[in-house]
Amino acid sequence: MVMQAATLGRNGVQDFILLRCSAIILALYAIFIVGFLALTPELTYQSWAGFFGHIGTKVFSFVALIAFLAHAWIGLWQVLTDYVKPAGMRGMLQFLLNVVILAYVGFGIFALWGV
């Protein structure tokens, strides 16, 4: 058994499922946003505000933010365990990157709240 306290899931299977599910959600969200951009004839403040004011958009954006959190958390842990061998440095980097991820998610949630 390999120690892996720093990742998100309790084992490789959970990480794998979280990674795949969050990837699907992010892909759907990307299609959703691109679809909005393509179908909106003229992008104005009003059309953006209307779009993000809609409860459906808000919920989907919130779900996408959580998916981003999981995806980036696990993905960066995998990259760091591949390329950064000294444990102390890896721990530091992981901590900093996770704080950045959380900050982005926090920022996103407050931005959604604001509309």
Partner 1 sequence: MKLTFSIYRYNPDVDNKPKMQDYSLEVAEGSDIMVLDALILLKEQDPTLAFRRSCREGVCGSDGLNMNGKNGLACITPLSDLTKKGGKIVIRPLPGLPVVRDLVVDMSQFYKQYERIKPYLITDGAQPPAGEFKQSPEERAKLDGLYECILCACCSTACPSFWWNPDKFVGPSGLLQAYRFLADSRDTATEERLADLDDAFSVFRCHGIMNCVSVCPKGLNPTKAIGHIKSMLLQRSV
Q: Tell me the two tokens of residue 75.
A: 């993905």
Is residue 108 a contact point for partner 1 (CB under 8 A)? Answer: no
Is residue 113 a contact point for partner 1 (CB under 8 A)? Answer: no
The residue from 11, 44, 46, 47 that contacts partner 1 (CB under 8 A) is 11
CA atoms within 13 A on the CB side of 59: 3
Phi then psi for 82, rounded to 5 degrees? -75, -45
Is residue 61 a contact point for partner 1 (CB under 8 A)? Answer: no
Neighbours of 87 (CB within 10 A): 10
Please give the residue ranges that form the binding site for partner 1 (CB under 8 A).
Answer: 1-2, 4, 7, 9, 11-17, 78, 81-83
